[in-house]
Structure 1
Amino acid sequence: MCTTNSFLKSLGVEIYASGHRRWPDEAKARAVADTLEPGATVNGVAARYGVLPNQLSAWRRLAKQGKLVLPAAELDEPVFAPLVVCDVPEVLPEPDMAAPKEVIRIVSGEVKIELAPGTPATRIAEIAHALGTSPC
């Protein structure tokens, strides 16, 4: 149990005397990302993190809904995303006059995110991954 607590504390999990734990989103996201590794199971990862499998499944659900941003996958080689060209909708939304003219916009369904022009590509990729963007 001591090694589990040491591991969890290294992830930033607050462990109270009552046994309750407060999980930061980064730790939840790491646990969810571990379930996506080849050969990993929810039960196995849950045991490693000391949580119930249904709790880990709830975090996975949050990630699928875009409410929990997963860390970008660390790959040895570059990964390219397909370019999808969509027809422009006939009715364009009114431009927001308060918004800066030069922004990076990510639109996925009802979700619209605007980022500063200097946003790193890795952060943009993390957001797109979390949104689960798909072809039009």
Structure 2
Amino acid sequence: MCATNSFLKSLGVEIYASGHRRWPDEAKARAVADKLEPGAMVNGVAARYGVLANQLSAWRRLARQGKLVLPAAELDEAVFAPLVVCDVSEVQPEPDIAASAEVIRIVSGEVRIELAPGTPAIRIAEIVHALGATPC
């Protein structure tokens, strides 16, 4: 149990004397990401993190609803996000936002995100993944 507690503390989990734990979103997201690895079983991942399988399933549900952002997958190869190019006439910039070619825009439904031009591709992919955006 001591090894589990030290592992959890390294993730930022607060463990109280009563046994209760306060899980930061990053620790929950890491547990869900571990479950998504090929061959990973819910019971095995839940045991590794010292939680019940239904708790891990609840965190997975939060991730599917976009309420929990998962870390980017660590891959040896490049990862590409879908890109949709629209005609200029289709895009109507809002008057209160300065129109600039130096801005990266992500639009998903009614959500509009503008990023600095130096934003790393991995961060853009994380945002697109968190929005649950699908190619048109």
Per the TM superposition, whether the score is higher than 0.5 is yes
Q: Distance in 1 between matches of 2:68 and 2:89?
A: 29
Aligned length: 135
Read off the aligned partner of 1:32 and give its amino acid letter. V
User: 1:49-105: CA deviations, max 9, x gaps?
Assistant: 0111121111111111222111111111222344444577868363324x5733222
Structure 2: where are the runs of 5+ without partners? none
Length-normalised TM-score, structure 1 = 0.85
SS in 2 for 1:40: coil
Percentage of matched positions with identical amino acids = 88
Alpha-carbon spacing, 1:72–1:91, altered in 2? closer, same or farther (3 Å): closer
SS in 1 for 2:54: helix
- Contact 1:12–1:23 at 8 Å: present in 2 too? yes
Length-normalised TM-score, structure 2 = 0.85
Give the structure 1 partner of residue 6 of structure 2: 6
Deviating 4+ runs (over 4 angstroms): 85-91
- Contact 1:103–1:117 at 8 Å: present in 2 too? yes
Q: Distance in 2 between matches of 1:104 and 1:69?
A: 20
When the two chains are superposed, the root-mean-square deviation of aligned CA atoms in Å is 2.3
Alpha-carbon spacing, 1:93–1:83, altered in 2? closer, same or farther (3 Å): closer
User: 1:95-132: CA deviations, max 9, x gaps?
Assistant: 324x5733222122232222222212211111112222
- Contact 1:13–1:24 at 8 Å: present in 2 too? yes
SS in 2 for 1:113: strand
Q: Distance in 1 between matches of 2:32 and 2:76?
A: 21
Q: Distance in 2 between matches of 1:88 and 1:10?
A: 49
Give the structure 2 partner of residue 120 of structure 1: 120
